[in-house]
């Protein structure tokens, strides 16, 4: 399957809303809920507008993972970019019907190719101890395991810990 990543645009809001709504239960099995308000259409659109403002400022990049038919398969983001230190934080999610097909792996590879040209020196990521697939994707793409937190938290009745990773841009010489 050919995929691409495209920066979020306001014209994506309706399709993104449908994607998030369709995958809500699936996503909430792995990450904390965004709450019921997030899924109210007017609040969702306002949130997309806020994301676009962040993107315009250069403090975050929000990409949609799409297939050759322009369908949204997932999202991949580089957020909270510290411009002076050139560090950002990774987040991604792939829709349930597209998991296990290499979509997240390919999207992360595309993102890393993109940030090499955007003067990002380091990307930090975290996942949970139960999300083995995400850990494998990070490691496959050159992220180094930094630590696993000693502190447990409960989500969906399971005791979990955060697992932290870092990727360093070896190409940029800035």
Give the pLDDT confidence score for residue 33 in this predicted structure.
76
More confident residue, 161 or 155: 161
Tell me the pTM. 0.87
Q: Looking at the domain assignment, is residue 143 inside a domain?
A: yes
Q: Looking at the domain assignment, is residue 174 inside a domain?
A: no
Q: Looking at the domain assignment, is residue 116 inside a domain?
A: yes
The rounded distance, in Å, linking the Cα atoms of 125 and 165 is 5
How many separate domains does the chain show? 1
Residue 137's CATH number: 3.40.630.30
Domain that holds residue 101: 3-168
Tens of pLDDT, residues 118-160? 778 999 999 988 889 999 999 999 999 999 999 988 877 889 8
Tens of pLDDT, residues 29-83? 777 778 888 899 999 999 999 999 999 998 999 999 999 999 999 999 999 999 8
Q: Which residues contact 123 (CB under 8 A, 6 or more apart)?
A: 78, 87, 88, 89, 90, 112, 115, 143, 166, 167
């Amino acid at each position: 399957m050919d995929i691409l990543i495209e920066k979020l645009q306001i014209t994506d809001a309706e399709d993104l809303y449908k994607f998030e709504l369709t995958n809500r239960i699936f996503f909430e099995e792995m990450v904390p809920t965004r709450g019921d308000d997030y899924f109210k259409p007017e609040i969702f659109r306002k949130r997309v507008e806020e994301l676009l403002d962040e993107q315009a400022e250069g403090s975050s990049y929000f990409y949609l993972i799409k297939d050759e038919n322009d369908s949204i398969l997932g999202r991949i983001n580089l957020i909270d970019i510290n411009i002076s230190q050139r560090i950002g934080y990774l987040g991604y999610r792939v829709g349930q019907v597209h998991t296990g097909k290499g979509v997240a792996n390919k999207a992360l590879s595309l993102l890393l190719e993109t940030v090499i040209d955007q003067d990002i020196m380091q990307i930090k990521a975290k996942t949970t101890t139960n999300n083995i697939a995400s850990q494998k994707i990070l490691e496959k793409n050159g992220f180094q395991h930094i630590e696993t937190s000693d502190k447990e938290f409960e989500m969906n009745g399971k005791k979990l810990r955060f697992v932290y990773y870092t990727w360093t841009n070896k190409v940029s010489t800035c």
